[in-house]
Amino acid sequence: MKIITYNVNGLRAALKKDWLGWLKTEAPDVVCLQEIKATPDQVPEILMLEQMGYEHYWYPAQKKGYSGTAILTRKSPLHIEYGCGHEDYDFEGRMIRADFEDLSVMSVYFPSGTTGDIRQTFKYRFLDDFQSYVDNLKKEKKLVVCGDFNICHRAIDIHNPKSNANTSGFLPEEREWMENFINSGFVDTFRHTNPDPHHYTWWSYRAGARARNLGWRIDYNMVSQNLSERIQKAEILSHAVHSDHCPVVLTLD
């Protein structure tokens, strides 16, 4: 099973950059999207997705043009879970889950705290609530948690750890949460297969950051420990340029 997570930062904008052509070439079995910023009725290309063999499940935010998640899949899920039952997060369309026979795949868009203290506090609350949510889920499901976590785990995951030490996304409390999340029973699949530095998934649009590879690794495919032996391949597709993020691939046996 080939799974891709991709924060497209507006699906309609990505589609204008031949996103469908890229998808056809990559041919993943499951695609987890974040920041879709659209509802299905705004995306006429849905017909082309269906012709490519994808079922599509959308969980847009209530606020138009903001946030939202989706899952595309070539394998019919047994169940789709929209949201997590928490009004504040579900209002923003931050989480959708597809349950298959042998595992469950989640597309999650973690909040950013870059706009100030109010959203940073919201982010911390989300982190705590998400941990509780997945703790309960993984008692009964093998989980693949895909998405934009909006956190760099370690210094190796950010181009300039010293100057960003007090920046949301690399704060000590956020990094500690990520460490605890992994220690609670998850595997960072990219780091499981690749210990090297300078691999990023997001770059600022400013100052030619992407061309200079001045980035952050904030997009992950995490799997519960009971799937670790099935990790076959994990890679970052930095050549795919449809967004300020790039896709991250996980292939499971």
In angstroms, rounded to a whole number, what is the distance separating the alpha carbons of residues 83 and 86? 7
Please report which confidence band the pLDDT of residue 220 belongs to, taking 50, 70 and 90 as the band edges: very high
Return the pLDDT at 238: 97
Which of the following is catalytic: 18, 88, 99, 148?
Answer: 148
Mean pLDDT score across all residues of the chain: 97
Question: Is 148 labeled as catalytic in the residue annotation?
Answer: yes
**Residue ranges of domains in the chain, CATH in brackets:** 2-252 (3.60.10.10)
Beta strands in the chain (DSSP E): 2-7, 30-34, 55-59, 69-73, 79-82, 95-99, 104-109, 143-148, 186-188, 202-203, 215-216, 219-224, 231-236, 248-252
* The pLDDT of residue 150: 98
pLDDT reported for residue 249: 98
Render pLDDT for 196-214 as a digit per residue (tens, 0 to 9).
Answer: 999 999 999 998 999 999 9
Confidence (pLDDT) at 111: 98
Average pLDDT on 101-115 reads 97
Instruction: Measure Cα distances from 180 to 59, 226, 228 in Å.
Output: 28, 17, 18
pTM for this prediction? 0.97
Q: Looking at 12-159, which runs of residues are DSSP E strands? A: 30-34, 55-59, 69-73, 79-82, 95-99, 104-109, 143-148
Confidence of residue 231 (pLDDT cuts 50, 70, 90): very high
Q: What is the pLDDT, as a whole number, of residue 239? A: 97
Res 70: pLDDT:
98
Give me the pLDDT at residue 244, please. 98
Provide the pLDDT confidence category of residue 100 given band limits of 50, 70 and 90. Answer: very high
Q: What is the structure's pLDDT at 50?
A: 97
The pLDDT of residue 77: 98
Q: Could you give the angle at the alpha carbon of 34 between the alpha carbons of 161 and 49, nearest 5°?
A: 140
**pLDDT for res 241:** 98
Q: Please give the average per-residue pLDDT across 106-128, as a whole number.
A: 97
